[in-house]
Amino acid sequence: MQQTVGASFSVGGKGLHTGKVSNLTVKPAPEDSGIRFMRKDIGEDAVIEAVAENVSGTARCTTITNGSFSVVTIEHLLSALTGMGIDNAIIELDNEEVPILDGSARPYVEAIREVGTLAQSAPRRYVEVDRVIEIYDEKSGSMVRIEPADAASYDLRIDFNSRVLGIQDAHWDPSVSYADEIGICRTFVFFHEIEHLFRNNLIKGGDVDNAIVIVEHPVEKEQLDHLSKLFDVPSLARSESGYLNNLSLHFENECARHKMLDLIGDLRLVGGFLKAKVTAVKSGHSINTRAARAVRDLLLERN
């Protein structure tokens, strides 16, 4: 049966990309209403449905837009709602970007566990495909393949040509605990990207508490000191394993698991729970949302 959250819950914090502080409240919603965002700072009519045709941007996050207003960085929250079995919810937000929190879906997972879920009287409407959908990007070599299946399963591989990361694989299906195996996995960034991202105003709300930083090559102490000043934290160092020493990994393949977290969130934009076999290689928000849109187009074609 369909489910919504057992009670409203709220979280707040700064957005990763805009740096703006925002507060959001996830509220129970009626059957068959799906996931909707409301920009409360604009008004109660400023609602955006979380579906692929509303995607307006995929530069390091997923953005949805309705007319003149948008909601930025929706993927972690959508992933948590999906992994925790929530069909219907309304998310009220007082600014444009969903807060990054610790860079994972953990705060949402913990909140849903605390308030519980409420079973509704309508059966869940699974999104199924009757043919193979494959989106391939020749330039990047990224691919998302969606095949008909009797149950949902997701397999993903990342390859950044990185000596630190190597090639990592991740798997998820409903028998795997989303909360403990996927939802706690944090976003990541390469050390050499950080300066460029700051310069281009792409991570105004970034800090070393909400991202794994991969240091591919040894760096000078002056560079690490500069990063410490950017983030306003004590001196940082490169660990022997090639990561910044600000945190410890939850899993050896935490970065692949975070990409799985993103994939689950982006594919929720099909408009429900996708019942299909999903295979992704070197995926990101652009190809994920293109795949979700292809599924939506198939549904429209059927109807």
Number of domains in the chain: 1
8 A C-beta contact, residue 73 and residue 80: no
Q: Residue 91 falls within a domain, yes or no?
A: yes
Q: Residue 23 falls within a domain, yes or no?
A: yes
Q: What is the pLDDT of residue 230?
A: 67
Indicate if the pLDDT at residue 260 is higher than 90.
Answer: yes
Question: Is 17 marked active-site?
Answer: no
Span 245-272, average pLDDT: 94
Strands 273-281 and 126-128, by their bridges, are parallel
Contacts of 21 (CB under 8 A, 6+ apart): 12, 13, 14, 15, 95, 99
More confident residue, 9 or 227: 9
d(CA 78, CA 50): 8
Span 234-248, average pLDDT: 79
More confident residue, 29 or 303: 29
Q: Residue 262 falls within a domain, yes or no?
A: no
Indicate if the pLDDT at residue 210 is higher than 90.
Answer: no
Q: Residue 117 falls within a domain, yes or no?
A: yes
**At 26, which amino acid appears?**
V
Q: Give the number of residues written for the chain.
A: 303
The model's confidence at residue 211, banded by pLDDT at 50, 70 and 90, is confident
Q: Residue 108 falls within a domain, yes or no?
A: yes
8 A C-beta contact, residue 46 and residue 38: yes
Q: Residue 75 falls within a domain, yes or no?
A: yes
In the set 17, 76, 258, 285, the catalytic residue is: 285
Q: Which of 200, 189, 19 is nearest to 99 (CA)?
A: 19
Per the structure block, which two tokens stand in for 144? 């998302």
Per the structure block, which two tokens stand in for 56? 């307006």
Span 54-61, average pLDDT: 92
Q: What angle do CA 256, 299, 3 make, to 5 degrees?
A: 65
Q: What is the pLDDT of residue 246?
A: 73
Q: What is the pLDDT of residue 112?
A: 97
- The boundaries of the domain holding residue 21 are 3-124
Q: Across 14-18, 166-170, 233-237, which has the greatest mean pLDDT?
A: 166-170
Q: Residue 98 falls within a domain, yes or no?
A: yes
Map residue 199 onto helix, strand or coil. Answer: helix
Per the structure block, which two tokens stand in for 89? 């919810």
Q: Tokens 């959508």 appear where? A: 78
CA dist 95 → 13, 50, 111 (Å): 11, 17, 20
CATH number for the domain that contains residue 11: 3.30.230.20
For the stretch 180-189, pLDDT in tens is 999 999 998 8
Query: Terminus-to-terminus CA distance in the chain, angstroms?
Result: 23
Q: Residue 166 falls within a domain, yes or no?
A: no
Per the structure block, which two tokens stand in for 141? 């070599």
Q: Which of 294, 268, 299, 286 is nearest to 146 (CA)?
A: 294
For the stretch 88-142, pLDDT in tens is 999 999 999 999 999 999 999 999 999 999 999 999 999 999 999 999 999 989 9
